[in-house]
Amino acid sequence: MQAIPSRLATSERLGRHVFSRSRAKRLSRGKPDHRAFLEAHGVDELSVDRLDYAALEVMREIAIESGKGREGEFQGWAVIRVKDAARNGRTVEARPLLNNVYHAEIVLNISGHSEKRDIQKQHAIELATLATWLGRP
């Protein structure tokens, strides 16, 4: 396993898990879907995996494990670079978990905002605009 620096590099790839088959189909055809970066009401942290420190097969197994109990099979990642994820008030923080040392979060920093849902959507479309698709190996 490659050593994982706690500090994120701007060129690092961050992968957001996609489980919906229809969403994956759309993304794989190069069409956008902002739902890949939209969390539930009130949640302003987006879980991502740091993809550049292990083989994709390893990252796939982590994604499958994290998705247990939810609808749909793991399909792939919506991928965004740290430099794009950490713009317009967002920050990216490495937050390793016991079962996923590659885990990080894109933090929207909107907790005090009065129009929180709209701001969530605004960030989601920006991230979706800049993201690319990476199907599961």
Partner 1 sequence: MRKADYHDPWTGSSSPARSYKEAGSASRISPTFVRAPEGLLASSVLRNVASRSAESAEGVKPSYSVIVRDDATPSQYHAGAWLSEALTELLDVDAEAQENGHEPPSQQAKNHAERILESLAPSGEGWPAPSVYPTSDREIAIFFRSDSRRASVLILCASDGQGACFAFADGRGRRARYEDAGEMPDAFVWEQLQKLR
Binding site for partner 1 (CB under 8 A): 20-23, 26, 30-35, 38, 40, 71-72, 87-89, 115, 117-119, 121-123, 125-126, 128-130
**Residue number with CB closer to partner 1 (100 or 109):** 109
* Shortest distance (Å) from residue 35 CB to partner 1: 6
* Shortest distance (Å) from residue 54 CB to partner 1: 28
DSSP 51: G
What does the alpha-carbon distance between residue 86 and residue 69 come to, in Å, rounded to a whole number? 30
* Shortest distance (Å) from residue 45 CB to partner 1: 17
User: Contact, 104 vs 93, CB < 8 A?
Assistant: yes
**Residue number with CB closer to partner 1 (54 or 108):** 108
Please identify which residue in the block is written with the tokens 């539930």.
40
H-run or E-run covering 46: strand 45-50
Q: What residue type is assigned to position 18 of the chain?
A: V
**Residue number with CB closer to partner 1 (3 or 42):** 42
**Residue number with CB closer to partner 1 (95 or 117):** 117
What does the alpha-carbon distance between residue 83 and residue 51 come to, in Å, rounded to a whole number? 15
* Shortest distance (Å) from residue 34 CB to partner 1: 6
What does the alpha-carbon distance between residue 128 and residue 109 come to, in Å, rounded to a whole number? 18
**Residue number with CB closer to partner 1 (5 or 88):** 88
* Shortest distance (Å) from residue 22 CB to partner 1: 5
Q: Which two tokens stand for residue 13?
A: 């790839």
